[in-house]
């Protein structure tokens, strides 16, 4: 049976890419789907041979990507337009079953996407806690499960330096760089070049994914990856203004980093518009991939499915602790998180509602404001400050409350409100940034970022709790689980990686032209010279420390088990039915012994008279028991000629 060959346009596209980039530069690893479909050189030559065209290949059919013999085998054009591979149809595979198997084993023979070698770079990663840290970790784990190679690069945290292996085989490089403000490293630029180059070469990276505009290490990685000809993707997790000095400086740095980036990702549509304006990017090069939540971790406590006193129906509940309503706030205690708004509403709400309590988790410079407030109004028993929380403690804090309050002044996507809703809390949040896109209006109360509006929003949520009009926590949890899933985030990110892999790496001349056009004449010249110097330094490093001297790191893959656990295994392809040397031992299988026969004598010719009846697995003395002695007789003398009076078990000279 003949194999399906790619359309003429696809073949010409592959040949053109090979001509432009050369072998191993346009794509460091071949696309397995193209190999299955016949992209080998002989197949490509056979697909464009004029003799084959003369044998009846209709140009119209070639433009549609189908050949007459494929049509004769019964391939329906409508089926092919729907995306069904004829080769898979020949195997008798149902499209629905094929799609299900692809989802169950994306890294196996049913996987249709190329395997990317991704390096995620950010200053913000574990053991630090936050939205960016959670996003990087969860996305990396899901990409590993889908068969990609993922490595994380961040700076050192205390004594945590070097290479660490986390759950699922995730490899993390903690570079010997120290942060100087808010867990961000200073701009190292050329000082980080040898370290990042070594990591990229050692891990055979094909795509660098940087996270957060606040991370200088992420910008350095983008800068060096472009000089090395790697594809680059940047995810922006924040919103910025255009007027204040810090925003102006950050926007200029972002413009330099993103003017020649391959693809960009934002976590909300509002963030996409903001990033496109700040960096001058074409909107079609910016994708929207939202955050998600691990709903298996953020679960509500056990709650009986019945209406509370005064409730409106069987799907509503009241306060978790009768006679007390708790408002939970979990965030970094900084200005942009709206801690000043929180300090403004606490005195008013505690005076109006004697049963209202506040539970605040997090650390930051604005903690002093809350401590002074608590001292001034004597609210030590009503306002509890928990300090910094570990990620495993966040859920335990959230389930103690009835209402979750997010007073942020700017947010691209607030993961905390999704986690709180997954725990069954009623959410109150400011209407800023991309928050209105996060959840339906019936699951949260939105209000303007002012003290008065925020106080009214909290009062509205308090009345709902008192009347028992809050949706059941289990119902809210199920809705959030359907809306947000990290596996869906990984699938959408894969599409961005695929698009980036299809794009060409920009040469140095075009990079300098973009810097001059986007950053202005002065800044463009400065950063253009820096890009040229970066290429020169890379050339010198290749001379002093050639790439072939850097050992390639072995691939690691997650160990998928029935219980959903993960572990570290090497990327081996041997199976129990594999014969490592079929010419030497044609019947040998891995895991078996060459001549394992219980009745076999391993060497009958060497000493035929020694044990002629000895068989492998048999005992020379069948009556001998383990732990007994062969001739253990108290009256036996082992050497009668030497000690005529000595008996076994007696002493020579008692």
Is the pLDDT at 344 greater than 90? The verdict is yes
Least trusted range by pLDDT, from 322-336, 385-399, 509-523, 594-608: 594-608
* pLDDT computed for residue 578 by the predictor: 46
Average of per-residue pLDDT values in the chain: 76
Question: Is residue 564 packed enough to be buried (19+ CB in 10 Å), middle (13-18) or exposed (0-12)?
Answer: exposed
Contact 163, 151 (CB under 8 A): no
Q: What is the pLDDT of residue 425?
A: 94
Highest mean pLDDT: which range of 1-5, 431-435, 514-518:
431-435
pLDDT value, residue 520? 82
For 20, the enclosing helix (H) or strand (E) is: helix 8-21
DSSP state of 352: H
Q: For residue 279, what pLDDT is reported?
A: 85
What share of the chain has pLDDT > 70, as a percent? 64
Per-residue pLDDT for 2 more than 70? no
Q: If pLDDT is split at 50, 70 and 90, which confidence band does 634 have?
A: low
Task: Kindly state the average pLDDT of the residues 267-283.
Answer: 89
Closest CA to 565 of 167, 295, 299, 171: 167
Band (250; pLDDT cuts 50, 70, 90): confident
Q: Can you give the pTM of this predicted structure?
A: 0.66
Please report the pLDDT score of residue 365 as a whole number: 92
Cis peptide before 127 (omega within 30 of 0): yes
Across the range 412-431, mean pLDDT stands at 93
Write the pLDDT tens digit of every residue in 100-118.
Answer: 544 544 444 444 456 899 9
* Confidence at 636, pLDDT banded by 50, 70, 90: low
Question: Which range among 54-63, 156-165, 169-178, 629-638 shows the weakest confidence by mean pLDDT?
Answer: 54-63
pLDDT at residue number 518 = 84
Rounded alpha-carbon distances, angstroms, from residue 554 to 145, 148, 518: 17, 13, 41
Residue 406's nearest CA partner among 392, 390, 396, 418 is 418
What's the DSSP call for residue 2? P
Q: Which of 255-259, 501-505, 642-646 has the lowest mean pLDDT?
A: 642-646
Give the rounded percent of residues in the chain with a pLDDT score beyond 90.
46
Q: Residue 19 pLDDT more than 60? A: no
Please report the pLDDT score of residue 34 as a whole number: 41
Q: What is the three-state SS of 599-623?
A: CCCCCCCCCCCCCCCCCCCCCCCCC
- The domains found in the chain, sorted by start residue, are 1-70 (no CATH), 117-292+488-549 (3.40.50.2000), 316-484 (3.40.50.2000)
The model's confidence at residue 633, banded by pLDDT at 50, 70 and 90, is low
Looking at residue 640, its pLDDT comes to 58
Q: Say yes or no to pLDDT of 586 above 60.
A: no
Which run of H or E residues covers position 9?
helix 8-21
Which has more pLDDT, 271 or 612?
A: 271
Residue 353, pLDDT > 50, answer yes
pLDDT value at residue 573: 34
């Amino acid at each position: 049976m003949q194999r399906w060959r790619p359309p003429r346009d696809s073949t010409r596209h592959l040949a053109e890419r090979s001509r432009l980039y050369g072998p191993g530069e346009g794509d460091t690893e071949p696309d397995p789907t193209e190999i299955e479909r016949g992209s080998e050189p002989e197949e490509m030559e056979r697909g464009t041979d004029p003799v084959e065209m003369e044998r009846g290949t209709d140009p119209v059919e070639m433009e549609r990507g189908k050949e007459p013999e494929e049509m004769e085998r019964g391939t329906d054009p409508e089926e092919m337009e729907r995306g069904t591979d004829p080769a898979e149809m020949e195997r008798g595979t149902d499209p629905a079953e094929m799609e299900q198997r692809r989802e169950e084993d994306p890294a196996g023979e049913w996987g249709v996407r190329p395997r990317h070698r991704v390096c995620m770079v950010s200053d913000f990663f574990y053991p630090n806690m936050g939205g960016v840290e959670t996003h990087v970790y969860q996305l990396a784990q899901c990409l590993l499960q889908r068969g990609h190679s993922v490595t994380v690069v961040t700076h050192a945290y205390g004594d945590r330096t070097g290479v660490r292996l986390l759950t699922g085989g995730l490899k993390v490089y903690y570079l010997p760089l120290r942060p100087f403000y808010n867990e961000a490293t200073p701009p190292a630029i050329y000082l980080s070049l040898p370290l990042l180059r070594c990591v990229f070469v050692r891990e055979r990276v094909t795509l660098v994914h940087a996270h957060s505009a606040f991370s200088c290490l992420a910008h350095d990685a983008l800068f060096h990856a472009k000089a090395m000809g790697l594809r680059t993707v940047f995810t922006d997790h924040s919103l910025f203004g255009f007027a204040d000095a810090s925003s102006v400086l950050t926007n200029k740095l972002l413009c330099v980093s993103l003017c020649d980036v391959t693809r960009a990702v934002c976590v909300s549509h509002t963030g996409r518009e903001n990033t496109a304006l700040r960096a001058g990017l074409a909107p079609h090069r910016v994708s929207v991939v939202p955050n998600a939540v691990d709903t298996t971790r953020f679960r509500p406590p056990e709650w009986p499915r019945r209406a509370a006193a005064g409730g409106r129906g069987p799907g509503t509940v009241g306060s978790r602790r009768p006679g007390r309503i708790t408002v939970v706030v979990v965030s970094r205690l900084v200005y942009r998180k709206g801690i000043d708004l929180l300090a403004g509403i606490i005195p008013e709400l505690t005076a109006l509602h004697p049963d209202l309590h506040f539970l605040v988790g997090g650390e930051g410079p604005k903690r002093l404001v809350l401590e002074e407030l608590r001292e001034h109004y004597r609210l030590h028993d009503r306002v509890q400050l928990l300090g910094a929380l570990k990620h495993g403690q966040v859920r335990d804090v959230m389930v103690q409350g009835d209402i979750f309050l997010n007073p942020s002044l700017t947010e691209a996507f607030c993961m905390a409100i999704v986690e709180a809703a997954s725990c069954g809390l009623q959410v109150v949040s400011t209407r800023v940034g991309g928050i209105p896109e996060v959840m339906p209006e019936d699951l949260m109360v939105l209000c303007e970022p002012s003290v008065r509006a925020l106080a009214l929003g909290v009062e509205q949520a308090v009345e709902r709790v008192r009347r028992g009009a809050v949706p059941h926590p289990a119902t809210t949890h199920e809705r959030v689980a359907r809306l947000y899933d990290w596996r869906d985030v990984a699938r959408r990110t894969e599409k961005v990686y695929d698009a980036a892999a299809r794009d060409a790496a920009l040469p140095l001349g075009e990079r300098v032209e973009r810097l001059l056009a986007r950053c202005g004449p002065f800044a463009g010249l400065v950063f253009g010279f820096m890009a040229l110097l970066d290429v020169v330094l890379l050339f010198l490093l290749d001379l002093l420390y050639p790439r072939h001297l850097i050992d390639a790191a072995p691939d690691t893959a997650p160990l998928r088990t029935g219980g959903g656990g993960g572990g570290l295994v090497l990327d081996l392809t041997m199976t129990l039915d594999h014969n490592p040397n079929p010419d030497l031992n044609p019947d040998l299988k891995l895991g078996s012994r060459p001549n394992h026969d219980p009745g076999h004598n391993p060497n009958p010719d060497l000493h035929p008279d020694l044990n002629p009846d000895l068989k492998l697995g048999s005992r020379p003395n069948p009556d001998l028991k383990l732990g007994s002695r062969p001739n253990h007789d108290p009256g036996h003398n082992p050497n009668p000629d030497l000690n005529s009076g000595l008996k076994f078990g007696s002493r020579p000279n008692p």
